[in-house]
Structure 1
Amino acid sequence: MLTENDAAQVFDTILSIPGMNEPVRIDLKISRKNVLLLHHVIERGLLENEGSPSVLLQRTAEENINELKQLSADCLSRAGLTELSEKLASLGAGKKR
């Protein structure tokens, strides 16, 4: 079993491989349902880990995290689900009160 320090070194090594910062084009067709779920997973993963981020997120630059958030928002926008997502989020926020 890797210690947290060992895992951090592995992640650092992987993230520093030449070409990892190069953009790639991904032609992807997924259902609106999966776009909504993907957005939720990304947002939840980033928000829940703010207090205790995973080793990978600890080693990830804020710029990369912002790119991931933007990708999530772009997917919602292209699927026409931004407003629906916001309304679902407000319903969830009201439920927690």
Structure 2
Amino acid sequence: MLTTNDVARVYDTILSTPGMGETVKIDLKISRKNVLLLSNVIERGLTIQQGDKSADLLKSVPQENLEELKALAGECLNKAGLIELSEKLSLLGNLK
């Protein structure tokens, strides 16, 4: 069985292979509901708490890549016209 460090090393190896840094154009057509869900999943995934096994994996990812993922989530919300709704839902989530 692989340890968390082993998994992090495998991901680091995959992310550093030739061609992984190249930009890819993706034509994606999804519902607004799924845009909202995808954005939420990205945001939650990037804010994993210390002690979670996934947090060790994210430590090996350069901060620049994490910022690109945040930007992607924001861009998807913007293109779907859901930024304001997402912000209001976040405020509701913070109230509990």
Shift of 1:50: 4.3
Measured against aligned partners, the alpha-carbon deviations of 1:4-41 in whole angstroms (never above 9, x if no partner) come to 22212211211111000001000000000000000111
**What is the aligned partner in structure 2 of residue 39 from structure 1?**
39
Query: Aligned equivalents of 2:86 and 2:13: distance in 1?
Result: 36
**Pair 1:10 & 2:4 matched:** no
Q: Percent same amino acid among aligned pairs?
A: 63
Gaps of 5+ in 1: none
Shift of 1:42: 0.7
Moved over 4 A (4+): none
AA aligned to 1:8 is A
Contact 2:4 2:57 in 1 (8 A): no
Query: Aligned equivalents of 2:5 and 2:42: distance in 1?
Result: 25
Q: When the two structures are superposed, what TM-score results if normalisation uses the length of structure 2?
A: 0.90
Q: When the two structures are superposed, what TM-score results if normalisation uses the length of structure 1?
A: 0.89
Structure 1 vs Structure 2 CA RMSD: 1.3
Query: Aligned equivalents of 1:43 and 1:5: distance in 2?
Result: 23
1:63 and 1:50, CA in 2 relative to 1: closer, same or farther beyond 3 A?
Answer: farther
Gaps of 5+ in 2: none
